[in-house]
Amino acid sequence: HGGQRFWYGLLLLALVTAPWLIDEYWLAQLTFILIYGIAGLGLMLLAGFTGQFSIGHAAFLGVGAYTQAVFTGMGVPFPIALALAAGIAAAVGVVVGLPALRVTGIYLAIATIAFGFIVEEGFARWESVTGGNSGMSVKSPNLFGWELGSGAEFYLLCLVITVVATLGILNLLRSSTGRAFVAIRDSEISAQSMGINLARYKTLSFSISAALAGIAGALYAHKLRFISPEQFN
């Protein structure tokens, strides 16, 4: 409604003009808020709207970060590397979502936290790709020849991606898929009796949630310029 448009418009105006209003330190903190906000959108979709419990979500953040670091290090343009980070994280999310078809509640939480430990250990041991515990450096984002080297440029990039992700999730929740997620959260038996495929929608929720975490991880890697396994525990 009109009130929402006014306040969200005012918020967007403040965010767009932030690089000229606040100093570099606070702009960096605001950039981290946007990055964590993208990961939070994914976790909200999974836990808040589908009712699936996950403690190991930092692993998806790590998958996105390392995927981005490896592909940008190979010279792949930033948008393509970002899409690969989201895609690979989503694929891993499908694998993790499979236990959700059999277990719920505290047992699902145990399964996801175990997955998180496994992935963190994998980052540390796969030294030929990740650099192991020594970590690896990450290049600045490169948009087809345009390098985003300054904090303000990277902040605006994160802002655009956060707004697009937020609008995407809002539209998803208004769709039949979003209503199916909510139905599963409220009652799996009732959802199944209405013809909702539990396996399909639970797995889809995990994959979308993981993809958003992967995007956040990719941006996180570019922001820090250096990543190591202990950052994703």
User: Taking Cα atoms as reference points, which of 27, 59, 26 lies closest to residue 42?
Assistant: 59
Q: What is the pLDDT of residues 72-105, one digit of tens each?
A: 888 888 899 999 999 999 999 888 878 767 777 7
Residue 171 phi, psi dihedral angles, 5° rounding:
-70, -35
pLDDT at 217: 94
Q: What is the mean pLDDT of the chain?
A: 88
DSSP assignment letter at 226: E
Report the alpha-carbon distance of residue 113 to residue 171 in Å, rounded: 30
Confidence band of 5 (pLDDT split at 50, 70, 90): confident
CB neighbour list of residue 142: distance below 8 Å, 6 or more residues apart: 72, 77, 78, 148
pLDDT at residue 36 tops 90: yes
- The long-range contacts involving 161-167, CB below 8 angstroms and separated by at least 24 positions, are 161/34, 161/38, 161/215, 161/219, 162/34, 162/37, 162/38, 163/12, 165/38, 165/41, 165/212, 165/215, 166/37, 166/41
pLDDT at residue 14 tops 90: yes
Most confident range (mean pLDDT) of 36-45, 88-97, 119-128, 199-208 is: 36-45
Percentage above 70 pLDDT, the chain: 97
pLDDT at 91: 93
* CA angle, residues 64, 66, 70, in degrees to nearest 5: 120
Q: Where are the alpha helices (DSSP H) in the chain?
A: 2-21, 24-43, 58-73, 78-97, 105-125, 127-130, 151-174, 176-186, 188-193, 198-224
Q: Determine the 3-state secondary structure of 149 from DSSP.
A: coil
Range of weakest confidence among 71-75, 125-129, 146-150, 216-220: 146-150
pLDDT at 211: 95
User: Taking Cα atoms as reference points, which of 165, 155, 144, 177 lies closest to residue 41?
Assistant: 165
pLDDT at 163: 95
Q: Determine the 3-state secondary structure of 209 from DSSP.
A: helix
pLDDT at 144: 67
Q: What is the pLDDT of residues 46-73, one digit of tens each?
A: 888 988 888 888 899 999 999 999 998 8
CB neighbour list of residue 47: distance below 8 Å, 6 or more residues apart: 53, 54
Percentage above 90 pLDDT, the chain: 40
Q: What is the pLDDT of residues 135-145, one digit of tens each?
A: 888 887 877 66
Q: What are the CA-CA distances from residue 218 to residues 6, 75, 83 (Å)?
A: 32, 15, 10
Q: What is the pLDDT of residues 161-203, one digit of tens each?
A: 999 999 999 999 999 999 999 998 888 888 888 888 888 888 8
